[in-house]
Amino acid sequence: MKRIGILTGGGDSPGLNAAIRGATLTAIRKYHCEVVGLIDGFNALFGDGGPAIGPSFMNLGEAEVQDIHAHGGTILGTANKGNPFEMILRDEHGRPMRDAAGKVLTRDRSAEAAQHIRDRGLDALLCIGGDGTLALARQMFERHGVPVVGVPKTIDFDLAATDATFGFKTAVQVATDALDRLRTTADSHDRVLILEVMGRYAGWIALHSGIAGGAHAILLPELPYSPRAVWKRITARFRRQRKFSLVVISEGARPVDGGYAVAEQREHPDAHVVLGGAGARLRAEIEGLYRAEADQVVAAGGYPPDAPEVRVVVLGHIQRGGTPLAEDRIVATACGAFAVDLAARGRFGTVAAWHDDGPTEVSLAAALAPHFVEPDTTPLVATARSLGISLGERDEDER
Residues catalogued as catalytic: 156
Please name the helix (run of DSSP H) or strand (run of DSSP E) that holds residue 248, with its range, or none.
strand 245-250
What's the gap between Cα 51 and its chain centre?
34
Q: HSE (CB half, 13 Å, CA atoms) of 258?
A: 16
Query: How does DSSP assign 48-94, residue by residue?
Result: S-TTSS-TTEEE--HHHHTTGGG-SS-TT---S---TTSEEPB-TTS
CA angle 368/373/375 to nearest 5° reads 145
Count of CB atoms situated within 10 Å of the CB of 268: 14
**Rounded Cα–Cα distance for residues 178 and 393 (Å):** 25
**Rounded Cα–Cα distance for residues 75 and 60 (Å):** 10
- Pairing state of beta strands 217-219 and 87-88? unpaired
Which residue in 346, 13, 1, 275 sits closest to 157, CA to CA?
Answer: 13
List, in sequence order, every residue forming a beta bridge with 7; answer none if it has no partner: 127
For the chain, give the number of residues: 399
Q: Render the burial of 335-344: b for 16+ CB within 10 Å, e for the rest.
A: bbbbbbbbbb
**Rounded Cα–Cα distance for residues 200 and 218 (Å):** 15
User: 36 exposed, middle or buried (CB, 10 Å; 0-12, 13-18, 19+)?
Assistant: buried
Please name the helix (run of DSSP H) or strand (run of DSSP E) that holds residue 12, with its range, or none.
none
Say if CB 44 and CB 77 are below 8 A apart: no
Query: How does DSSP assign 251-273, residue by residue?
Result: TT--BTT----EEEE--STTPPE
